[in-house]
Structure 1
């Protein structure tokens, strides 16, 4: 008897010790389900697919509610009469929650009174075997379809649903949209995954027919992302490949592989902050955009050029009426908020001989602050009396410009230095087209020699 009592005492002490060391979840912790947090060990051993749907609203912005797949009416916070936004992550080779998860939750809830559903399929996405995660995508889509069906039965509408998918998550959103014959309101694809999907037909990947409006941001088309257009409108920042500020060599470690790919998410987050509108220019190619051939946005009149990100659907009607995919290009800075302020430089020369080269631009405001153009323009060909358009951009902007500095260069190390005889120069702001355009007439640029001058307002009736 004494022995049994002693054993019970030892068991109680052991239980107390375990609780003391590892802790016991409080009621509050039980009430606030969180995104699954795994590690590289889980990735190495592999994980079985498990999907949880975490609901946030303005009534519960800091404490999610785990939705029950076959019982929508059991939710305390879900309001099916409101817009519903799903956020779907992608492949997770390390198992940790996405670094951007907290920001996208906070910013989406601040953008409107919505149901925000974080689709957590970390168990299933966490693996070192990429193809395993790819195979799980359709299973995740099936789970989402089952829940959306429940929401529809409870009064929700497909038109009020917006799915935001990152990498593999973009294709998951496409699979769900395909199941509803493209009647979802909107799908946003953030650098949709390229590997395993590049050769797939439309039903095997995200496609513009998967929702009424599909906008896609491509930032890593040469490695992890999908190169070809997939949406109603496809945005290609910095050409869609190497993003400014991202490492250029493998010696930078993991960031070298994921920085370009993740930039799509951070650009989207920037659009929610609304520190500036990132304007995009519909164009057939990045090189044409760089040559200034596609900066008028005539197809979008009376509206201006489309903007990238959350508010891209403001241009939905124009894009849908066009009834063909639209590719849009733009350049960004190297960090948040990624704004770039674009100008068109028009130049007419009177050299008898053709000149080819580059022009670097600096602008100075009346306080003496100077900024230099950051956009690497394409080589321009200057012919007598023919106007050349050069796209240039700055990380900052000035309301009023007091001085302009120009430098002409052929970027050749040997041979004679050339002169560029300018008949007329005109500088036009693309971000603020209502501003007075600035002109200068009859001057000479000596190669590799900066010339600074005070511009004058261009005549109003000149072009």
Structure 2
């Protein structure tokens, strides 16, 4: 074959391959992408259901509401997870949609269905979007009833709702008399739902199991407890690393609220192990009063994420349970946590806060326990929770300081008969102890920790 013909054949092959790739891309059904003009003019509700499976994880397929068993890729014998977004004030697709689809498909062989109600959620008027949640719920309920008629089990359905989408999921569950297997609410929306009755918002009766994550209760999120288990990250309000002033622009308004999604993504990715401790309040948790999990034995405390199976029965038995945890500002979000028990024998009563620094080689990390003043005197046992931003292995040295605020007058001595560090969340770490430490208030003392005996 002459070279010119060969080149022509290769060019035709490349052209045909490119056309095939474009046809493949064009056949994908993507999330509705709107712009600010749509929001300003207002959008009418239109619900689309985009299916993803392990066979088409990068290419969504829009589902019709009829003859589901005839639609390719949808296997009604598989469990199904629905992802439901919330209010979209700019009309743009959520930046996390593709990521959560990928991670859910990694958990098990699922039908992952994105509920795209962007036409409806994208409205400059938030109250209009709230109104549309009822209509969108009616649409999704009809689809689920069709699934059930064609052989699917409602108990194998998991609705994951973000913000306003959490209440939409609750409305679906209520319409189906709580027969949905599970609803996960990621920081359910607060505005227009603060004074709502259980019938007007997400609540535990909407599914066989309801778990909720709170990150912005003092602004766009909803206060209170609304699931069988409610996880409160950093108390459920202000999140570390989020702006504290309005000068940060959009991030000031959305950072805390969006953190619920990023914490959940991190948990799905198994790079975060975020353990929640049952407790009446975050302040009690920080005081170290709620670091036991006997109610969940042989399992440990509940861990945020997709698989809550080890704790489900206990949580259903306990009723509505609040669990608290703290995070860092960035992934993997987990703090290194120790329960610290101290026995003091100083002559004079002192009040103060505790600073603890852990050293491993040249690296160190500090915890400041200052949510309240601690009492140090003779025969006093003090328990506190020390949380560190960096996860250091092989702790070689510990530095301790008790700050009393005394800047004039004599420095009083404080004697620790014993200090014991019990690792939380990681039973493989050794317990660390030290005995009979003499220190001055406001002065740092360093020591090498010793392994604790079982009788210590």
TM interval, shorter chain, is: over 0.9
Does 2:389 correspond to 1:395? yes
Q: Which residue of 1 aligns with 2:329?
A: 334
Does 2:141 correspond to 1:172? no
**What per-residue deviation string (whole Å, max 9, x for no partner) do you get for residues 51-84 of structure 1?**
0000000011111110002331331011111110
Q: Which residue of 1 aligns with 2:99?
A: 103
Q: Helix, strand or coil for the counterpart of 1:86?
A: strand
Q: Which residue of 2 aligns with 1:62?
A: 58
When normalised by structure 2's length, the TM-score is 0.92
Q: Helix, strand or coil for the counterpart of 1:379?
A: strand
Deviation, 1:413, is: 6.0
Contact 1:377 1:390 in 2 (8 A): no
Contact 2:353 2:369 in 1 (8 A): no
Q: Helix, strand or coil for the counterpart of 1:296?
A: coil
The whole-number CA distance in structure 2 between the counterparts of 1:78 and 1:376 is: 54
Superposed, which structure 2 residues align to 1:340-419 within 5 Å? 340-365=335-360, 367-373=361-367, 377-411=371-405, 417-419=411-413
The change in CA–CA distance for 1:375 and 1:256 in structure 2 (over 3 A counts) is: farther
Deviation, 1:416, is: 5.7
The whole-number CA distance in structure 1 between the counterparts of 2:40 and 2:406 is: 52
1:430 to 399, 421, 424: 424
Q: Which residue of 1 aligns with 2:11?
A: none
The whole-number CA distance in structure 1 between the counterparts of 2:257 and 2:410 is: 44
1:439 to 433, 441, 445: 433
Q: Which residue of 2 aligns with 1:16?
A: none
Deviation, 1:375, is: 6.5
Deviation, 1:382, is: 2.3
Q: Helix, strand or coil for the counterpart of 1:151?
A: helix
Deviation, 1:390, is: 1.1
Q: Which residue of 1 aligns with 2:14?
A: none
Deviation, 1:280, is: 0.9
The whole-number CA distance in structure 2 between the counterparts of 1:188 and 1:379 is: 38
Does 2:132 correspond to 1:141? no
The whole-number CA distance in structure 2 between the counterparts of 1:117 and 1:412 is: 61
Q: How many residues align?
A: 436
Deviates more, 1:66-75 or 1:131-140: 66-75
Deviation, 1:417, is: 4.3
Deviation, 1:235, is: 0.5
Q: Helix, strand or coil for the counterpart of 1:311?
A: coil
The whole-number CA distance in structure 2 between the counterparts of 1:417 and 1:453 is: 20
The whole-number CA distance in structure 2 between the counterparts of 1:419 and 1:37 is: 66
The change in CA–CA distance for 1:316 and 1:129 in structure 2 (over 3 A counts) is: same
Q: Which residue of 1 aligns with 2:255?
A: 259
Deviation, 1:418, is: 4.1
Q: Which residue of 1 aligns with 2:16?
A: none
Deviation, 1:398, is: 3.2
The whole-number CA distance in structure 2 between the counterparts of 1:383 and 1:177 is: 55
The whole-number CA distance in structure 1 between the counterparts of 2:154 and 2:223 is: 28
The whole-number CA distance in structure 2 between the counterparts of 1:341 and 1:375 is: 14
Superposed, which structure 2 residues align to 1:24-43 within 5 Å? 27-43=23-39
**What per-residue deviation string (whole Å, max 9, x for no partner) do you get for residues 222-257 of structure 1?**
001011000000000101111001000000000000
The whole-number CA distance in structure 2 between the counterparts of 1:433 and 1:383 is: 31
Contact 2:354 2:370 in 1 (8 A): no
Does 2:146 correspond to 1:153? no
Q: Give ranges in structure 2 of 5+ residues lacking alignment.
A: 1-20
Q: Give ranges in structure 1 of 5+ residues lacking alignment.
A: 1-24
Contact 2:69 2:75 in 1 (8 A): no
The whole-number CA distance in structure 2 between the counterparts of 1:45 and 1:235 is: 38
Superposed, which structure 2 residues align to 1:63-212 within 5 Å? 63-212=59-208
The change in CA–CA distance for 1:397 and 1:386 in structure 2 (over 3 A counts) is: same
The whole-number CA distance in structure 2 between the counterparts of 1:164 and 1:320 is: 19
RMSD: 1.7
Does 2:274 correspond to 1:278? yes
The whole-number CA distance in structure 1 between the counterparts of 2:412 and 2:296 is: 41
The whole-number CA distance in structure 1 between the counterparts of 2:385 and 2:238 is: 19
Contact 1:47 1:126 in 2 (8 A): yes
Superposed, which structure 2 residues align to 1:292-303 within 5 Å? 292-303=288-299
Q: Helix, strand or coil for the counterpart of 2:307?
A: helix
Deviation, 1:425, is: 0.8
The whole-number CA distance in structure 2 between the counterparts of 1:224 and 1:141 is: 21
The whole-number CA distance in structure 2 between the counterparts of 1:184 and 1:36 is: 27
Superposed, which structure 2 residues align to 1:3-42 within 5 Å? 27-42=23-38
The whole-number CA distance in structure 2 between the counterparts of 1:393 and 1:420 is: 23
Contact 2:354 2:400 in 1 (8 A): yes
